Structure 1
Amino acid sequence: MYPEVYEAAKSGEFHSLMTIILENGEDLSHQTTPKGNNVLHVAAQFGRANFIREFLQDLPRSSLLWKCNCKGDTPLHVATQLGSYEMLLRIPNSDEDTLLHSVIRRHCKGVVELLIEEDPHLCDIINAADESPLYLAIHQRLWDIIEPILCASSWPSSHKGPKGLTALHAAVTLSLSSCKKILEKRPEMIREKDDIGWTPLHYVAHANKVDAVQLLLQHDTSIAYDLDKEGDSALHIAALQGHINVINQLITSCHDAWDIINFKRQTALHAAVIGGKVNVVKHILRITNLEDLINKKDTNGNMALHLAMHLREYDSALILAKDKRVDCFATTKDHLTALDIFSAQKDEDSAGNFICHRWILSEKSEGLCQYNHSSRVLRALKDSHGFPTVQDRVVEEKRRLEKQFSEGQSAASITMGRDSSLKSLIELELLVASFIATATFAAAFAIPGGYSNDGPNQGMATLAGRAAFKTFVITNTIALVFVW
């Protein structure tokens, strides 16, 4: 070994060694002393942990860590004999990574196994990012070293990850076989929650991992009832995301899971409506004996139907309104029926909806199908309500009269604001009618194809014998009747 190489390893000057290698033009790091010691043996002998850590960042050179000297000792054996192996292996860098963290990041499987064999306690040390070696190995997808780390680690914190996550949180959506290993060694991880209160089951429900859901429930069915910080169960998450297969698996394992409500007292049906997942709404309504779920109210008195109206989820609203089990007369805490909510929305943009409905009827415009759907919702609600109720009309009239009396206003002035939108609609209707009338009369006097000027059919329309002309005459006559 060159003297300058030996001195760099002895003093822990890694950058000096790199400078020597660059100037020489060849990799001198593989040189050995007469005793067979390489640069890592020398650094270990003098307790140069940082030198070894930086040296091992280069994957090809990392093999020197298990090279033996003439006595058959690796650099780790040398450190152990000198009583400095703990310092060598456990001293963290600026990110509080130990040597084990570093070699896991470099995917050095052989070095990882060697380090664990020499110092199992390394598996229990967490870095500044709250990453345990086990969590980091799963995050790096080093499936082969998960079991050795699991067997070596002893502290409860040895499976932790950032933001309250655990190794099982990380593995559950990535590797089913790794999940099985973790559950065998650390079954308590199945109930642990992250910073937002999600268990591993919440994550697989969100990711639509049916096999993982089944695996977790086989170990502990009670996890289906665990709620996150918003009070949502895995069933709520699956409904919100529209994952019917996950829902079925949860219900198969826990038949009463339909009864789970969150902190807002919302069911899975509420969650499906909020998520706009019509497929889940349909799926739930196909199930018998769920009347209580279907008509369940949240803390604001909203059934799923009310929420569908509030959120303008008209696809879901139409399906719910047509189901005979749904109580369309039910009111919220603000004493509003679903129809009241719908009517209020229609008042807000009635002019726009009016125009859209006219286009739908005349042009069947695909881009305006949402408005067509809302009109179907209105019809469904009218059928169930006897719209509007007499009581609503009486109360509204009383309020109008009380306001008129207290403010000394005339009936005309008190209703002017309420009728302004109607007036706009009437004016718009007249304008449209004027256009139709103009086009209709013009078509009646300007016959397509003109008239015949000679022959036996003189004065008759030249296209009179054609089917298309007859269709024109009939439709134009109908238009004249409606205009009149």
Structure 2
Amino acid sequence: MAVAGEGDDISKAKGDRAMPGSEWELRMDNTLLMALKKGDARTVERFFSRAAVLSSEVADHALAINLPDADNNIVADGEAGRRTWRGVTEGRKTALHVVATFGHFELAKLICTRDSSFLRARNVAGETPLHCAARAGADQIVSLFISVARQQEDRSWLEAVLRATDREGKTALQAAAEEGHAAAARVLMSADPGLAAIDDGNGVSPLYAAVLSGSLEAVQILIESESPAEGGQQDGTTSASRVAPEASYAGPNGQTALHAAALRHPATPLEDAVRQLLERDTSTAYLSDCNGFFPIHVAASMGRRAVAIVLITHCNDMDELVDKEGRNFLHIAVQFDEPAIVEFVSRQPLLAKMMNGRDYKGNTPLHLAVKFKNQKIVSLLLGNRRVHHSIINKDGLAPIDLAITQREQGLAGAQGPEDWIIQCLQRTGAVFGPRRLDPLINQKANEPDLKKELKKYESTTQNLIIVSALIATVTFAAAFTMPGGYRADDHQNGGTPTLTRKYAFAAFIISDVLAFLCSIIATTWLMLAGSLATDPSRRVNLILRSGPLILIAVQSMIAAFALSVYVVLAPVSIVIAVVVCVLACPSLLLSDTELWQRLHLERTVKSRLGWSAMNRTRAIFRAVAAYLVVYVVIVVLSLFYFVKH
């Protein structure tokens, strides 16, 4: 039979005997199983009484479970033996496994009193009842099991129970740590502090598991427990001196508990856990995983600003740690798009050296930000005067060279973020490197990707033509559903709109007509752009020209909506009518992404060069003026119509 702690393969353990199919020879009675789960002591006692009347031969030897002293050569026959309380479930859980899982202390005490050998029984997963109690957080039952094991004549029992591992190599302490059960972990650590140094089959230590669980109390218990005295304990616990922090902090793939703290979800107070780990031993902050990532790199890649601050506070040379590619944690934050870390570093004068740090390819964080086309991080870096924006990497490329070579050709190039990045670099005074760029640009331009480019044309054309056609349909229908309705047929001007003498009505008509005409023209151009007979260069031209027309059509349609509401509500509630116009008219301007990008660009220039460099803000005013031109045209034409009529 397999003995707890010896690491035998449970499924092939000697003495395991199965009935045909998947059932064990002694299956636990369903009524007993339910009573054990519910903690029904009366029903369990009844089964104990039934077991007592069995023959001594059956009672002593009819076990189909994994117990060290069991002899399975004799098996109870008939229903009486099958219903004995010594039966197991389909997962080979004994009665003690079940009550430990559900936290029934009195039943656990009763079963241990009748047969303490159940403590070393294992289920299919290789777990002992102590594993189940620890995973359930039943600290009283954990304490009971340790006390029972300590009372055995064989002094090796206690170590066998405490250090038994399941199929995955996990001890009971590991199970408690994974679930974040601090009380159970405290009991186990009091009995054997050496458990904290035992890693599972995947190289995961209990401390690493506790950090992942988010239990700060469990972490504190594991790092603050003292080792037992040399030479063994009086109670039989094996002496285990505390191992090096690197071993007890260990995790998979060369990681440590600090790596786990950086990886964990920020909802838990991980900065406190990191602080405790570092106060215990700062050496783990200088251990890298198999990818060359130190804990500070992991924190940067996950955007854990609080964890990064704690690491930097306790270890002032975190900025000098680099991974296998020579990247510091600012490089990593840029690569993984974590602007919070970049912003934090840019505000720390003591970390200024990192802003221009180079990896083994000569790339600075700005090179990486340009490479990954991250406008926000480019803005943060260029806004810092300590960042040198013209450093050349080992390929002979400055950031602005890299931005130009990264620019997509065709339609994507006209709509991508590279243009903004290039403008930002130029406005802040970036200079080109010595390497000629035309071979790189020509190489990229000559890359055969015609099918991909045609798909871009088709997708863009389809989206725009749907919008323009919808505007044309709506504005066409609005021309025949006038606000205020029509005059009756017996009127002198029967069938005409009733509000023709109002200025707002004239403005509504002009807005509607302008939206209709612009959408029709845009639809026609987009139809040509979607034709395979049209030259690709002309397609781009038609698409780019139809864009402003669609914007004018949308703006005019919004104005028509606001004016129709105004002309109807003004006679009864002028306040509501004015509010509708005020809310509707600037809505398109607020959604103008190009305008916001220009503002973002000017803010970056101002941060680096000051107010004096913002001499191109007139471009923003031109954009606002262009937006207002549509309303000016509507107002002027409406006044002309109103004066004439």
Q: Give the structure-2-normalised TM-score.
A: 0.51
Is residue 426 of structure 2 the alignment partner of residue 382 of structure 1? yes
Pick the structure with more helix per residue: 1
Q: Is 1:471 aligned with 2:515? A: no
Q: Render the CA deviation track for 1:301-328: whole Å, top value 9, x for unaligned.
A: 2111111111111211222234332222
Match of residue 222 from structure 2 = 182
Report if the CA contact (8 A) 1:124-1:154 is conserved. Answer: no
Aligned pairs (5 A) from 1:97-246 = 97-105=127-135, 108-119=138-149, 120-121=158-159, 122-153=161-192, 159-161=198-200, 163-172=202-211, 173-185=213-225, 188=243, 190-191=245-246, 192-207=249-264, 208=266, 209-246=270-307
Where 2:299 maps in the other structure, the secondary structure is: helix
Change beyond 3 A, Cα 1:289–1:17: closer
Q: Is the 8 A contact 1:124 1:155 kept in 2?
A: no
**Superposed CA offset, 1:414-455 (max 9, x none):** x9999x99x965774488669999xx9xxxxxxxxxxxxxxx
Alignment of 1:73-84 (within 5 A): 74-76=113-115
> Relative to 1, partners in 2 of residues 1:351 and 1:45: Cα closer, same or farther, differing over 3 Å?
same
Query: Counterparts of 1:214-293 in structure 2 under 5 Å?
Result: 214-293=275-354
Q: Deviations over 1:228-286 (max 9, x none)?
A: 11111111111112222222111111112111111111011101101111121121111
Change (3 A) 1:38 1:306: farther
Q: Is the contact between residue 389 and residue 430 of structure 2 (CA under 8 Å) also seen in structure 1?
A: no
Q: Quick one: distance in 1 between partners of 2:144 and 2:367?
A: 62
Shift of the alpha carbon at 1:329? 2.0
Residue type at the aligned position of 2:114 = P
Instruction: State the alpha-carbon separation in 1 of the partners of residues 144 and 447 from structure 2.
Output: 83
Distance in 1, Cα, partners of 2:33 & 2:313: 65
- 1:308 and 2:369 matched: yes
Number of the residue aligned with 1:63: 106
Q: Deviations over 1:154-193 (max 9, x none)?
A: 6557743452211111222422222222112266474232
* Aligned AA (1:130): G
With over 3 angstroms needed to count, the CA separation of the structure-2 counterparts of 1:435 and 1:382, relative to structure 1, is: closer
Aligned length: 384
Equivalent residues of 1:318, 1:376 under 8 A apart: no
Per mean C-alpha deviation after superposition, the further-off stretch among 375-384 and 165-174 is 375-384
Query: Would you say the 8 A contact 1:322–1:380 is kept in 2?
Result: no
**Which 5+ residue runs of structure 1 have no aligned equivalent?**
1-11, 80-84, 357-370, 404-414, 441-466, 477-484
Cα distance between partner residues in 2 of 1:32 and 1:469: 90
Q: Residues 103 and 225 (structure 1 numbering): CA distance in 2 closer, same or farther, change over 3 Å?
A: closer
Higher relative contact order, chain-length normalized (CA < 8 Å, sep 6+): 2
Residue 296 of structure 1 is aligned with which of 357, 362, 367? 357
Correspondence for 2:391 among 295, 316, 330: 330
Give the match's secondary structure for 2:254.
Answer: coil
Change (3 A) 1:315 1:33: closer
SS in 1 for 2:349: coil
SS at match of 2:291: coil
Contact map agreement 1:201 1:216 (CA 8 A) in 2: yes
Residues 236, 267 of structure 1: 8 Å contact kept: yes
- Do the aligned partners of residues 471 and 179 (structure 1) sit closer, same or farther apart at CA in structure 2, a change above 3 Å counting? closer
| Percent identity for Structure 1 against Structure 2 | 22
Contact 1:125 1:158 in 2 (8 A): no
2:27 aligned counterpart, secondary structure: helix
Deviations 1:370-423 (A, max 9, x none): x4x64442123224566556x556x859x99xx9xxxxxxxxxxx9999x99x9
Question: CA 1:134–1:377 in structure 2 vs 1: closer, same or farther (change >3 Å)?
Answer: same
Q: Is the CA contact (8 Å cut-off) linking 1:328 and 1:338 kept in structure 2?
A: yes
Task: Please give the secondary structure, in 2, of the residue aligned with 1:164.
Answer: coil
Corresponding residue for residue 45 of structure 2: 30
Q: Determine the C-alpha separation between the residues in 2 that align with 1:211 and 1:335.
A: 45
CA separation in 2, counterparts of 1:284 and 1:20? 63
Q: Report how far residue 126 of structure 1 moved.
A: 0.7
Summarize the Cα distance change of 1:49–1:216 in structure 2 as closer, same or farther, 3 Å threshold.
farther
Whether contact under 8 Å (1:124, 1:157) holds in the other structure is no
Show the counterpart of 2:409.
349
Contact 1:21 1:28 in 2 (8 A): no
Q: 1:434–1:305: structure 2 CA closer, same or farther, 3 Å change rule? A: closer
Closer, same or farther: CA 428–185 of 1 in aligned 2, 3 Å: closer
Q: Which amino acid aligns with 2:308?
A: I
Relative distance call for 1:332 and 1:116 in structure 2 (3 A) is same
Q: Is the 8 A contact 1:133 1:158 kept in 2?
A: no
1:322-350 alpha-carbon deviations (Å, 9 max, x no partner)? 4332222222222222112211222x234
Amino acid at match of 2:174: Y
Between the aligned partners of 1:112 and 1:470, the Cα distance in structure 2 is 78
Match of 1:456 in 2: none
1:115-174, Cα deviation, whole Å (9 max, x unpaired) = 211222211111102211101123344432222211223655774345221111122242
Aligned AA for 1:382?
Answer: Q
So what's the TM-score if we normalise by structure 1?
0.66
Measured in 2, the distance between the counterparts of 1:436 and 1:124 equals 74
Distance in 2 (CA, whole Å) between partners of 1:107 and 1:469 is 70
Partner SS for 2:388: coil
Inter-CA distance 148–431: structure 2 relative to 1 (3 Å threshold)? closer
Name the residue aligned to 2:621: none
Distance 1:154 1:223, change over 3 A: closer
Q: Which amino acid aligns with 2:106?
A: S
Matched residues in 2 for 1:289 and 1:233: separation?
A: 20
**Residue type matched to 1:92 in 2?**
R
